[in-house]
Structure 1
């Protein structure tokens, strides 16, 4: 791309230079004035650009004839040529269209206006590729994530002071996951150009031992998707069953090796739809484009797992239960820092549960929810027999509620705290049977862990010689005990329906909260599109 555009700009520079030799000084001054005036007027509507151009006396950085101007032009055009690779709106950053506009800018005023326009496009591109196209909370209210936006003035100043090609190449996220998603996106786009994964698998469920044309369709689909080697089998044999299990594992399904309705539904999703998921995942990766911590906790809501990550490697993982599908119980997405755990915790009932669930029950029967203490504003237990619950409503109910430590406590025997305004944390639960479900969305928003003790041991291992003995000693006391983490651990609650393992295996999950579908619609509205590429 760079070598293609350089000859034009070299010729353009020579012509402009020769022309300048033949104009009177007064004319040259008038042209300079017209250029600067156009820059000043064009940049005035944007505070960052106005400050930047004002600091350089309204001289341009893109449309001039110097070597530095040519390098910036060519680097920007080359970066724009690969914008579509990153899932950005390619039409917005069309290098050919921008080239035509540059060629059409003949007067100093037109060149000044184009210099400002190129800065505007550069700023749009830089922010989009580094921290995302969208403001997520405007698309999905449950995404509470703070986006690490960079200074727009800083972008311009850094570009001017840097090698432009190197600066632009460093803008996309440097995380290994982003690189893996980008690779998978390009691979799937090439596959899409060649027909995708071919015909879908017709009909209903199939089990091992079956044979016939539908088994052949299942075989061919799995071969095309890379889950088995080419085969001539027409029977649902052990090899085909193993391929189905691999597919199920990569899609968060129960790996029973049976091509049931749920498995076939996921298998028949088109390559184009899967590309949308990858593009959304890349946008989400840009929203988290900051250091995650060498050690951090990664909770992927769609995968129903919570993992401890050390240097991009999973060192502990457990199943989780997340917020239910009702709009008021869905788990939010955000990042915070885990500071401590509480062993034998009390459960302080959230106000929303008190007034929406427990107060109506108490109004029907004062002895309802008898395992819960009703407390006054000072935390003292009150005699529920002395209270007329019918006189209160959700606004006027003056009491709090608390469940003391016990094995039956709603939080189980340990909770992991990263204090936040959403009152979300990780915890144990007495409802162990839910972890056997494929879709585990049942809580009021907090994250329940299947193996909370092992999770605690893994966290404590960096500060205790015998973390299990340390934990169990406090557990046996039966008393509520706070244990601070010497090195607080970042926690990231995320929602990824497309993600990779460090082994390179591409995974897809169901859009259980319908968040990614809304994000894709918003991206499409900005001009992002699924594409197929040859070669």
Structure 2
């Protein structure tokens, strides 16, 4: 006798239903027929939540009791708080269509039976967990955007979000999700300013021409004057001449945009002046997303902050900049761009040896050695036993990037590629901060020339600032070790967090928003990903 296919499937379905009923019975959820309606609700919650392990774990831990759809005042407060927060999602540059107030009301309003109410309960929790994740940790995953964004974001689980929310004041919990940094607050304000400016037509006509200088008087100067007035860099004036006031306004604009403040509106300055409101708004929105990536991270009472687009390194103490110096970052090629991440600085090395990375050794120096064995004579070749290799009679043409058997090192010296000091925060990317003999590069406006590490213009002063908490005379302490000419490791008594960040929009407490160029094109990729997720540019009427 042949069994039909449908009968075993029915038996499996019955078995599954009985198993689930048994689960509820064991949990004490099917005690008496009088609880039939409650059981229908809880069974619907359990079924709907089973599609998401984290949400299911939350509801199991509370016996499938509701947090949204119940009749308690707390449930009502949660509904009200979520609807209000969803209505304000656009202010945070979030994908509003994921969780509109109308969507929330529809989910709740369409549930007419206990089973439908159970499904609505779970849908509300899923929706809220997504909202909380977006607001607290960002809309997109950094590592999915660009290989140079290697920052790790510690995301909450839906279980922990819902558990904390259920135990907290709803409005207060939602308020606590967004970054509470002054930077984020100022970015939000600037976002609204730009949205209003966008609604009113932007900053007006762009400025024609390639270069405008003090003393000139023509239509292009008038266009420059009008645009800077609209941007808030110049008080209202009817002057048609590039006078001292206009020059001062141009200089301040240049300072705010990381340009050489010479007061001349050259091609680079005019390009930034003519950048539309929409582009600046995108920069602000991406900066908000980047700030969310750091949310919850302990930045350190003292920390080093390197903004790659700004070409500066700063030491921050208790929220204030106590030291600032120019920096050089990685060249804009696929294998040299400086990555973004955070780590801990543990020590500095005075009179460092440069251990040439293998990629540089094989890509740059091996071809030179193949042409001339005595090339780059300031570098030493070291074999696997640690001995210096003689170049006399060597045939480097027999080697390639795979079988090159030597390490290349440059001993301590003033001409060392690392200069006279390097600052180490050991990481898998082999990135650190260091001195350089190529001081002329710090005079450039844009400074992306390195192999990826961060070069500092004032490394000695940087070292003195780091050493100040642990020695009475940092300069003398440093010089004593420098004068030996020997490689010396100096441990930091208190390790210092280092944050390599990338911000094209930077809030200034007492000044205008600062903007920088997207040197690696990363912000453009981030905004594209945010747009794909549903984040939109918007114009807001005043």
Shorter-chain TM-score tier: over 0.9
Please list the CA deviations of residues 275-300 of structure 1 after superposition, one character each: whole Å capped at 9, or x if unmatched. Answer: 11101001011111112001100000
1:493 partner SS: strand
User: Partner of 1:124 in structure 2?
Assistant: 130
User: Partner of 1:353 in structure 2?
Assistant: 360
Task: Work out whether 1:497 is the aligned partner of 2:504.
Answer: yes
**Is the 1:313–1:502 Cα contact (8 Å) retained in structure 2?**
no
- TM-score of the pair, normalised by structure 2: 0.92
Match of 1:461 among 454, 459, 468: 468
Equivalence map 1:252-401=2 (5 Å): 252-289=258-295, 290-401=297-408
User: Partner of 2:198 in structure 1?
Assistant: 192
Task: Work out whether 1:475 is the aligned partner of 2:502.
Answer: no
**Is the 2:218–2:240 Cα contact (8 Å) retained in structure 1?**
yes
User: Partner of 1:70 in structure 2?
Assistant: 76
Once residues 529 and 378 of structure 1 are traced to their aligned partners in structure 2, the CA distance between those partners, rounded to angstroms, is 60
Equivalence map 1:74-89=2 (5 Å): 74-89=80-95
User: Partner of 1:239 in structure 2?
Assistant: 245
Deviation, structure 1 residue 461: 1.0
Task: Work out whether 1:211 is the aligned partner of 2:211.
Answer: no
**Is the 2:85–2:174 Cα contact (8 Å) retained in structure 1?**
yes
Deviation, structure 1 residue 132: 0.7
Deviation, structure 1 residue 504: 4.3
**Is the 2:328–2:455 Cα contact (8 Å) retained in structure 1?**
yes
Once residues 26 and 407 of structure 1 are traced to their aligned partners in structure 2, the CA distance between those partners, rounded to angstroms, is 86
User: Partner of 1:7 in structure 2?
Assistant: none
Please list the CA deviations of residues 119-165 of structure 1 after superposition, one character each: whole Å capped at 9, or x if unmatched. Answer: 01111011111111111111111111110212321111111111111
Deviation, structure 1 residue 269: 1.0
User: Partner of 2:533 in structure 1?
Assistant: 526
2:238 partner SS: coil
1:490 partner SS: strand
Once residues 170 and 403 of structure 1 are traced to their aligned partners in structure 2, the CA distance between those partners, rounded to angstroms, is 51
Q: CA RMSD in A?
A: 1.4
Equivalence map 1:219-238=2 (5 Å): 219-238=225-244
**Where in structure 2 are there 5+ consecutive unaligned residues?**
1-30
Equivalence map 1:106-185=2 (5 Å): 106-185=112-191
Q: 1:387 to 1:92 in 2, by over 3 A?
A: same
- TM-score of the pair, normalised by structure 1: 0.93
**Is the 1:415–1:427 Cα contact (8 Å) retained in structure 2?**
yes
Once residues 96 and 234 of structure 1 are traced to their aligned partners in structure 2, the CA distance between those partners, rounded to angstroms, is 53
Once residues 179 and 109 of structure 1 are traced to their aligned partners in structure 2, the CA distance between those partners, rounded to angstroms, is 42
Once residues 193 and 71 of structure 2 are traced to their aligned partners in structure 1, the CA distance between those partners, rounded to angstroms, is 39
Once residues 104 and 533 of structure 1 are traced to their aligned partners in structure 2, the CA distance between those partners, rounded to angstroms, is 32
User: Partner of 1:48 in structure 2?
Assistant: 54
Task: Work out whether 1:438 is the aligned partner of 2:445.
Answer: yes
Please list the CA deviations of residues 199-224 of structure 1 after superposition, one character each: whole Å capped at 9, or x if unmatched. Answer: 21123211111112221111111111
User: Partner of 2:106 in structure 1?
Assistant: 100
**Is the 2:349–2:489 Cα contact (8 Å) retained in structure 1?**
yes
Deviation, structure 1 residue 69: 0.6
Please list the CA deviations of residues 227-269 of structure 1 after superposition, one character each: whole Å capped at 9, or x if unmatched. Answer: 1211111110000000001101111111111111111111111
User: Partner of 2:6 in structure 1?
Assistant: none
Once residues 248 and 387 of structure 1 are traced to their aligned partners in structure 2, the CA distance between those partners, rounded to angstroms, is 54
2:483 partner SS: helix
User: Partner of 2:458 in structure 1?
Assistant: 451
Please list the CA deviations of residues 85-140 of structure 1 after superposition, one character each: whole Å capped at 9, or x if unmatched. Answer: 00001121210232133212212122111111110111101111111111111111
Once residues 27 and 508 of structure 1 are traced to their aligned partners in structure 2, the CA distance between those partners, rounded to angstroms, is 67
Once residues 523 and 469 of structure 2 are traced to their aligned partners in structure 1, the CA distance between those partners, rounded to angstroms, is 37
Q: Which region of structure 1 is more displaced relative to structure 2, 94-103 or 110-119?
A: 94-103
Deviation, structure 1 residue 26: 9.0
Tell me the number of residue pairs that the alignment of Structure 1 and Structure 2 aligns. Answer: 511
1:303 partner SS: coil
Once residues 156 and 183 of structure 2 are traced to their aligned partners in structure 1, the CA distance between those partners, rounded to angstroms, is 21
Please list the CA deviations of residues 279-337 of structure 1 after superposition, one character each: whole Å capped at 9, or x if unmatched. Answer: 10010111111120011000000000000011221111000010001111100001001
Please list the CA deviations of residues 413-462 of structure 1 after superposition, one character each: whole Å capped at 9, or x if unmatched. Answer: 11001011111000000001111111111110000001111111111111
1:170 partner SS: helix
